[in-house]
Amino acid sequence: MSGESAEKGLDATTRDFANGQKVFNRYTLIKTLGRGGMGVVWLARDEELERNVALKFLPELIVHDRAVLGDMKRETRRSLDLTHKNIVRIYDFVHSEQSGCISMEYVDGDTLSNLRADRPHKVFEPHDLKDWTSQLCDALDYAHNHARIIHRDLKPANLMVNTRGDLKVSDFGISRSLSDSVSMLTMEQGRSGTLVFMSPQQLDGERGSHLDDIYSFGATVYELLTSKPPFSSGNVDRQIREKIPPLMSARRQELEVEGEPIDE
């Protein structure tokens, strides 16, 4: 079967899916991994290659618009070039008349967002992040300088840690592309991406660059150490553009965190 189509008789909407169901004449669904505004993610078995994969199913309004679906397909194909140990691999783009999904590497683990929430005071200590931030820097350097791809929606929820303790960056170029597509189809005004992690340039609608990822990297580390991104309430747009974030040490004092000092 081509990676770009499936037999019509196997079409299914995301509402029809169930554990054990075979979709696209190739994948057997195992369980739901996550659900959100940008679609549903399933753990599935790729029967052809005999490996587990994660299937990110696209919102139906994208599947039913040929132009937007084509854009998503091209964006996904660009991500196929990302082959780095700290980046979640994208395997395929599969669709039929009724449904579509992106097949990617399954990471047995959890997000840094969830892991942080389970910590005392909901923060990490600097030494906890040392290896992960180093791995994230390696992944971004590879993507920016070798593959020439930017993430555009970097945040703790897109950073996975597997059972071996290795960090994996997920949704490289995909989550932002999905958000762009949904915004266009619903005629919603505003910017795609996650506001509290967006750079001032993104807020102003400037052309995306690696600098956006670098800003989001900093905002991500800030949240992991203080439980909140630099700005999270009030007029966030204006604060990101005009203000310097409070010192992380001051934020941690508010939480009565008695841990390592932070160099700022």
φ, ψ of residue 107 in degrees (nearest 5): -105, 115
Domain ranges in the chain?
8-105, 109-254
8-105 against 109-254: fold identical: no
Query: How confident is the model over 115-150, as pLDDT tens digits?
Result: 999 998 999 999 999 999 999 999 999 999 998 889
Query: How confident is the model over 214-250, as pLDDT tens digits?
Result: 999 999 999 999 999 999 999 999 999 999 999 999 9
| pTM reported for the whole predicted model | 0.85
Q: Please compute the mean of the pLDDT values over residues 24-53 and round it to a whole number.
A: 92
Query: How confident is the model over 143-195, as pLDDT tens digits?
Result: 999 988 899 899 999 999 999 999 999 988 675 555 554 444 444 444 556 89
Q: What share of the chain is helix, strand, coil (3-state, %, to 5)?
A: 40, 20, 40
- Supply 147's token pair: 């593959």
Tell me if residue 153 is catalytic.
Answer: yes
CATH annotation of 109-254: 1.10.510.10
Active-site hit among 153, 171, 180, 212: 153
- 8-105: what fold? Phosphorylase Kinase; domain 1 (3.30.200)
